[in-house]
Structure 1
Amino acid sequence: MRIGVPKEIKVHEYRVGMTPSAVREAVFHGHEVLVQKGAGFAIGLLDEQYVAAGAKLIDTAEEIFASADMIVKVKEPQESEWKQLREGQVLFTYLHLAPDPEQARGLMKSGVVAIAYETVTDARGGLPLLAPMSEVAGRMSIQAGAHCLEIAQGGRGQLLGGVPGVPAAKVVILGGGVSGTNAARMAMGLEAHVTVIDLNLHRLYELDTRFGPSLNTIYSTVDAIEEHVLGADLVIGAVLVPGAAAPKLVSEEMVKNMKKGSVLVDIAIDQGGCFATSHPTTHAEPTYVLHDVVHYCVANMPGAVARTSTFALNNATLPFTLALADKGYAKALSDNPHLLAGLNVYKGQITYQAVSDAIGVPYVPAAQVLAR
């Protein structure tokens, strides 16, 4: 198979779909890999490393889209990219279609076979291709939140961990999944007062057992969210419904009643955000202030540590990339129900229920379209 790796074009996105090591593995499996010149330059992955790994360097993304059988990316295709996709071509990347109906319809029109990293599953019910970036985003959320609490950033001028004689900041984390757990771990390491709110009692039990009295765990209700959010200095939105738009757990009225200079960090912004007042921002302009509350809503948070993120993501995606290339997409999807769960768009049809519900187009089960 001919695999194409274009340079990412989203604002301040420096990750790359395949590292030289991943390219070498694909070439070892007998595949041709086309890499756009300079695709990994910003994170120290140089063209000569790709050539040494067996890649063929290509001048433009247009050439890659025109000739590759499968496109491997990191971020969802931008409009100029989805217009270059063609029928039957495989697209393997993050998509986040539920809050982005325009992209979904663009992919449907192209006839592409689009497999989303964020909905691929594993035998334990996890999301193995989302988990590495959730780990990064969770850890980064505390760094970003601590910075936003500084007075120069519009925050309360509060040190997350306090100092002897001065209380630590109150950090509330909505969601106890991978990103929420990593956020909690970082916040506790900085000696903040940390509360995790989640609907899953078993998950709360696991967190309580793991972290003990250093972590406050609360069952999620409207009352509980309101009480803890209004008392918080930093709130991390880390909720996830796989493939679906994030639920709006914090209303605008709640935001209005938060402490002046408090901070919201919305990790869920890729799926539409879990705060009513959230809208996507970029690394160039990461924050805005609304109702005297600082909002950090960068839609590609792990892109800020693009080298770490690229290697972490490639470790997870490479086995699936090789399966798609070795077997062809039809057999690879049929053989692996966990990879099949990643199929969101198939030749003009939406094949993921949550995306269908979110954008209001008919749903066709993934297994059904493959059986035709």
Structure 2
Amino acid sequence: MIIGVPKEIKNNENRVALTPASVQELVLRGHEVYIENNAGIGSGISNEEYIAVGAGILDTPKEVFDIADIIVKVKEPLECEYELFKEGQVLYTYLHLAPNPSLTKALLDKKIMGIAYETVEAADGSLPLLTPMSEVAGRMSTQVGATLLQKYNKGRGMLLGGVPGVAPAKVVILGGGVVGTNAAKIAIGMGANVTIFDVNSKRLAYLDDIFGGRVNTCYSNSLSLAEALKNTDLFIGAVLVPGAKAPNLVTEEMVKGMKEGSVIVDVAIDQGGSVETIDRVTTHDNPYYVSHGVVHYSVANMPGAVPRTSTFALNGATLKHLINIVEKGPVEACKNDPLLLKGLNTYKGYVTYKAVADDLKSELNLEYKDPQELL
């Protein structure tokens, strides 16, 4: 099979879909891999490193899309890439389709077999291809929040961990999954006062146990969250509903009740965001804005700021499934692997992931098809 890796073009997105080690594994198995010129530079990987393990280098993204049976990316294609799609091609990447009707329509029009990293799901409900980037984004969210609390970033002028004699900042994390857990690890390590909200009492008990009582845990409801936000210095949105739009759980009224100079970092922005006052996706070039006196950070590709770490972490998770796809063929791989079947979002012009179809039904009049009926 011919595998193509275009250069990522989202703002300040320096990750790359395959490392040289991954390329070598694929080439040794008899597959061809083509990398767009300098696609790995942002992650510290040169063209020469790819060539040394058997990859071909192509000058333009069009050449990559034209030659490849399967396109492997990190982030969802942008509008300027839609015209490059080849009918029936396989696309293996983060897709985040629920808040993105234009991309969904483009995939359906070209009958792209879209396999989304973020919905590949194990039997225990874990998301193995999302987990490494959730770990990165969770840890980054606290670092970013600590920076934005500094006065020159419009924050309250607080040190997250305080100093002897001065109380630390109060951090509220909404969602106790992978993002929330990793955000809490860093916040605790920096000395902050941390509270985690979640709707799953078993998860809260688990968090209380692993953190040894160093975090406050609270069952999430609108009243308790609103009260907590009044005294919060840093709020981290870590809500996830696999494949679906994130629910708006933090209302404008809650934000209005927050202290001036407090900070919101919404990691859920990839799936539409969980904060009502986040009305735009920001970029690493211009990452935050102020609304109702509160600093809002809503960058959709946070791990792109630490591309070396992120690229290698992501490849550790995605390569196994990519090998399955190219060795067995995408149809057989999805038929025989329940994890990959969950990852199948579009196929033969249909949406094959129900949460995406439900969220976009009113905008695109979509018909959901069970992927097992199409394979």
**TM norm structure 1:** 0.99
Q: What amino acid maps onto 2:107 in structure 1?
A: L
Which sits farther off after the overlay, 357-366 or 177-186? Answer: 357-366
- Specify the alignment match of 1:307 in structure 2: 308
Give the residue type in structure 1 aligned to 2:310. S
Deviations 1:219-264 (A, max 9, x none): 0111111111121000000000000000111001111111000000
Distance 1:152 1:33 in 2: 46
Q: Percent identity?
A: 57
2:170–2:234 CA contact under 8 A, matched in 1? yes
* CA distance in 1: counterparts of 2:161 and 2:62, whole angstroms: 49
1:172-183 equivalences in 2 (<5 Å): 172-183=172-183
Q: Mind listing any 5+ residue stretches in structure 2 that lack a counterpart? A: none
Contact 2:136 2:303 in 1 (8 A): yes
Q: Which amino acid aligns with 2:165?
A: G
Shift of 1:305: 0.1
Conserved 8 A contact 1:83-1:110: no
Structure 1 residue 124 displacement after superposition:
2.2
* Counterparts of residues 56-135 of structure 1 (less than 5 Å): 56-135=56-135
1:167-208 alpha-carbon deviations (Å, 9 max, x no partner): 110000000000000000100000100000000111101101
Q: Structure 1 residue 14 and structure 2 residue 19: aligned?
A: no
8 Å CA contact 1:132–1:313 kept in 2: the answer is: yes
**The residue matched to 1:124 in structure 2 has which SS?**
coil
Give distance in 2, aligned partners of 1:187 and 1:108. Answer: 42
Q: Normalising by the residue count of structure 2, what TM-score does the alignment of the two structures yield?
A: 0.98
Q: Give the secondary structure class of the aligned counterpart of 2:235.
A: strand
Stretches of structure 1 lacking an aligned partner (at least 5 in a row):
none
Deviations 1:98-156 (A, max 9, x none): 01111111111111100000000123210000000000000000000000000000000
Q: Which amino acid aligns with 1:8?
A: E
Q: Secondary structure at the match of 1:84?
A: coil
Q: Please give the secondary structure, in 2, of the residue aligned with 1:254.
A: helix
Figure out how many residues of one structure are paired with residues of the other and give that number: 370
The aligned counterpart of 2:371 is 366
Query: What secondary structure does 1:163 align onto?
Result: coil
Equivalence for 1:327: 328
Contact 2:229/2:257 (<8 A) preserved: no
Q: Give the distance between the partners of 2:230 and 2:102, measured in 1 at CA.
A: 35
Q: What's the counterpart of residue 282 of structure 1?
A: 283
Q: 1:263: which partner in 2?
A: 263
Q: Which one-letter code corresponds to 1:147 in the other structure?
A: T
* Preserved contact between residue 82 and residue 110 of structure 1 (Cα < 8 Å): no
* Contact 1:16–1:74 (CA under 8 A) maintained in structure 2: yes
**CA RMSD for the aligned pairs?**
0.7
What amino acid is aligned across from residue 357 of structure 2 in structure 1? S
In structure 2, C-alpha distance between the alignment counterparts of 1:133 and 1:282, rounded to whole Å: 17
1:280-336 CA-to-partner distances (Å, cap 9, x unmatched) read: 100000000000000011000000001100000000000011111001101000010
Letter in 1 for 2:207: L
Corresponding residue number in structure 1 for 2:292: 291
Give the conservation status (yes or no) of the 8 Å contact 1:87–1:347: no
CA distance in 1, matches of 2:74, 2:42: 15
Q: 1:317 is aligned with what amino acid?
A: T
